[in-house]
Amino acid sequence: MTDIADRPEIAPELRLVPHAFRRTFGRPAEGVWYAPGVLNLLGGAVRVPAKWGAIVAGDRRDDGRLELVSVNRPAERAVLPSDELPPWAAPVAGSSGGATLMCSVDLPRGSGLSAGEALRTAVALALRDLAGERFDEPPAVDLDLPGRRLLVVDTRIRRAEPQRERPFTPGTGDLGEELTAYHHAQDPDPEQDAVVRAALAAGAHGASTLVDPPGRPAVALVDADLVPAVKKAITRAVEVPPRYLTIVPRPLGGFGVA
């Protein structure tokens, strides 16, 4: 059987991680798994996937241990169960199963797209398939927003103290109004407040803080043709130039190849 790292029908970004696994361990991976980063809106009431996420590749092992290696930090290996994990592996602290996995996450922690959740999901998919288990994925909601985009704003602010999320009950059914109402129900950082005010003043349909520790990101619902103007307004309103990701909503889901 052709090594996954050498199969031309698989997307290049999915072949990269099995290639790193083979280079590190001297053997081919049994499979490769992907899970998207997720934009959790309104306290998770609406979940929107992004094209950026987490990819893991690996094989099973028979000692019941879970070994994790990062493409970007190959020297910082994690072997679970353990009470001491490198920061990048912290999201999978509760995982268990016999496998060796090479991990790649192309989202900064705290950027607004739940990088830790993406890694945890990709690892769970790998462990499920390597153990020969199958279960139905939870149903995904297709968020239909023709002509509009979700502009994710990574303020680049990282804080050690947790950002507490206050309860919020959606009510109006209009996503833009709900986002702004959610923001006012929270206790945002000044940077998040500045982003929301600037986005709304520039014509966004709604905007809110995002709770994605350790970051202090925000999101705005914007007409596609207004995205450049809203970015410009936000950049002028804050001290540190943010990073922006523009998302066209699509159904949520992850997958694997073996």
Same domain, 168 and 80: no
Give percent of the chain above pLDDT 70: 92
CATH of the domain at 31: 3.30.230.10
Same domain, 20 and 122: yes
Q: pLDDT digit string (tens) for 152-197?
A: 999 999 999 989 899 998 887 789 999 999 999 999 999 999 999 9
Same domain, 194 and 116: no
CATH of the domain at 180: 3.30.70.890
Q: pLDDT digit string (tens) for 57-93?
A: 999 999 999 999 999 888 888 999 888 888 889 899 8
pLDDT at 121: 93
How many Cβ atoms are within 10 Å of 143's Cβ, its own excluded? 20
Same domain, 169 and 56: no
Same domain, 166 and 220: yes
Question: φ and ψ at 4, to 5 degrees?
Answer: -55, -35
Q: 54 near 92, Cβ under 8 Å?
A: no
Is residue 173 included in any domain, yes or no? yes
Is residue 82 included in any domain, yes or no? yes
Q: pLDDT digit string (tens) for 40-59?
A: 999 988 888 888 899 999 99
Same domain, 93 and 169: no
Is residue 117 included in any domain, yes or no? yes
Same domain, 116 and 176: no
Is residue 142 included in any domain, yes or no? no
Task: State how many domains the chain has.
Answer: 2
Is residue 177 included in any domain, yes or no? yes
Same domain, 122 and 155: no
Residue 197 domain boundaries: 148-247
Edge-to-edge strand ranges of the sheet holding 78-80: 78-80, 66-70, 99-105, 46-60, 31-41, 255-257
Is residue 49 included in any domain, yes or no? yes
Is residue 187 included in any domain, yes or no? yes
Q: pLDDT digit string (tens) for 114-152?
A: 999 999 999 999 999 998 876 555 545 557 788 999 999
pLDDT at 248: 86
Residue linked to tokens 């002509």: 147
Residue of 52, 54, 45 whose CA lies nearest to 247: 52
Q: Could you tell me the two tokens for 18?
A: 């099995």
